[in-house]
Structure formats: structure tokens, C-alpha cells
Structure 1
């Protein structure tokens, strides 16, 4: 029962873990190709590592939407909320553990990434049914406000990733701890 009900979420966790891990190295493998840098981390900043969840997650969600049978209208809002939480968890968990330990550790960095993925799918799965049950109706038809706002938010995320690859704010979240640079260099 569990497998049948949550198999796409399990596929998603596995896909994003694998694709995100590979994506970490793609910019360097491409010879620092600018177009690749839009989708893959261009440095070791925490912000750039959020791309490891967002882009594979977006790709998987598009596949999931079209391949899973009977996706409700709550799919996009739930998935967007889940991925927002997962992406927020990455810097929060990273800065929390590095504040406690005084330094970062690769094994813990990987665990933070995996926890972000798990949180994204957990929240998405929990909210998909909840949103579907509580969506308000207008004149007897379900409103499309939440899916629309979710799509707008995803587009904003996409644009921010693109913009901040080239022109990141001069904040610690965007600073490469190895080189001290910001964005693509």
C-alpha cells in the first residue's frame, strides 16, 4: 500500500539525489559554459547549491505530472510549497550546523541536501491531499488561484537563479567560501 501510494515521491527523492549530485560537477565538466551555469552551481556558495534541489526537482515534477495517473489540481501548489520548504531548509540547516560546529563537513553537507529533498517531498505529499480538500470554490468550480500563484512563484525562482548566477547580492549566502567570489567568475 505504501509503495503504491508514494512510489512517485520515492522515485523523486532518488532521482533528485542522483541528478543533484551529478549536477554539482556539470559546470566544471562543461568547461565553465555559461548556459550550463544557469542550471548548475558555478561555485561553492550555499545559494548555488540550492540549484541541486530546484532544477532536478522541477524536471522530475514535470515528468511526474504527466506520467502519474490522476494528478489533482493541488499538485502544483503542494509541490511548490514542498520545494520551497526544501530549498529553505538547505541554508537553514547548513548555517545551523556550521554555527554549532564552527566549520562545515562534507558528510553533513550531503545530509543537509538529502534532508532538503526528503522535506520537499514530505510536505508536498502531505499538502497535496490537504489543499485538494480545502480549495475554495467559486460558482461551483474550483478556483485556479493556487496553481496560478504556484506557477508564478516557480517562474520567480527560476529568474532569481538565473539573475543571481551573474549578479548575486553581496551577502554570505551567495559568497563562495573557497574563492571568496560571488556568482560566476
Structure 2
């Protein structure tokens, strides 16, 4: 059964505040919940680029589980839409992180949380556009599902044992800018 555009739009609209609330919660959950190991797998452990990507990724994954169950797996290109949403959000989150890190946004009155809200809205819009495509890309959908599963495992693995690399190191300078 193919879903109507209005139903898919409703789900993506509902998903936007969900992503925002869950994402902002995941940003502070690890510290707030006494550095719980399980919570740390899904939330920001330190203020590195890699850890900040988890906020967007897991908020999308959690909502996608709910959305896919509600749509009963019948939305064409569902996993393709979600995989591209993850990639798009990751690019935007990384860009905004680096803009704050290198003080390129200090003169602009913008909070990183407001930027996160805008990124969530744009990401959901992209997801909707892919969901309403008239053509079904079954192989791409399968590859996208595998991509999301592999990304989940990589996030878990690198949270437990992060490589010694600038991508995984917290930025004290950024902490001062964002006042954490």
C-alpha cells in the first residue's frame, strides 16, 4: 500500500519537534545521568565533532523506528530517505560545529541550539521529498538500511574505543564558546 503525501508529510512534521527534543536531550543526557554507560552509547560523551554527530544520528534512528512501525514498512524509499537525512544532517552539524570552533560565528547572534532546530527542519524536509518520490528504488533502500545499521555499530564501537584523532577529541575552545 502506498501512503498519501499528506500522511507522509504529517509524519515528517511530527518528526521535527521529536528530533529537536530528543537531540537536545541526548546532548546533555550523559552528564545529567551520572555518566551512565548505556546512555553514553547514544548521547554526547565529550564535546567532539564525532560525539555531536550522535545527537542527530540517534534522534533520527529513534524516530525512524517509530515512524516505520506506524507506516508498517510500506513507505517507498523509507530507508533511503532516512540514510540521506542522516548524511545531510551530519554535514550540516559538522559545518556548524566547525564554524563555532573557529570563531566564524561569534559575531553572529545565533545559538547552536537554534541552529540545531533549523538543521532538523531542513533534514525532515529532505526526508519528505525522498519519501514522496514516484519511483521505488528497492536496492538503494536495502543498501540504505545496511548503511544505517553499520553506522549504528560504528557509533557504538567508537564511543567505547575512540581512535586518537582530532575528530574524536573534545575542543576546550568550543566548550568556552558554547559555555558548557
User: Normalised by the shorter chain, which TM-score bucket?
Assistant: 0.7 to 0.9
Shift of 1:4: 5.7
Aligned to 2:135: 133
Please, which of 55, 58, 65 is the counterpart of residue 55 of structure 1?
Answer: 58
Cα RMSD over matched residues? 2.9
Distance 1:25 1:7, change over 3 A: same
Deviations 1:3-52 (A, max 9, x none): 76622111111011011111222111221121211111111112211111
When Rg is computed on C-alpha atoms for both structures, the one with the higher figure is 1
Structure 1 gaps of 5+ residues are: 136-143, 181-185
CA 1:106/1:12 → structure 2, altered by over 3 Å: closer, same or farther? farther
Once the two structures are superposed, residues 87-136 of structure 1 have per-residue CA deviations (whole angstroms, 9 ceiling, x without a partner) of 22100232245446276999432133223312321211111223x4263x
Aligned-partner Cα distance in 1 for 2:43–2:98 = 21
For the residue of structure 1 that corresponds to 2:42, the secondary structure is coil
What residue is the counterpart of 1:183 in the other structure? none
Q: Find the counterpart in structure 1 of residue 33 from structure 2.
A: 30
Which of residues 20, 29, 39 in structure 2 aligns to 1:17? 20
Tell me the TM-score normalised to structure 1 length: 0.78
For residues 130-181 of structure 1, what are the alpha-carbon distances to aligned partners after superposition, in whole Å with 9 as ceiling and x for unaligned? 3x4263xxxxxxxx3122111110011111111111222333322111399x
Are the equivalent residues in 2 in contact too, given 1:87–1:116 (CA < 8 A)? Answer: no
Q: Secondary structure at the match of 2:75?
A: coil
2-structure distance, mates of 1:85, 1:95: 16
TM-score, normalisation: structure 2: 0.80
Aligned partners of 2:106 and 2:48: how far apart in 1? 14
Match for 1:168 among 150, 155, 162? 162
Aligned to 1:154: 148
Poorly superposed stretches of 4+, deviation over 3 Å: 2-5, 68-71, 96-100, 102-108
Uncovered stretches (5+) of structure 2, i.e. residues with no partner? 175-180
- Asked if residue 66 in structure 1 is aligned to residue 74 in structure 2, the reply is no
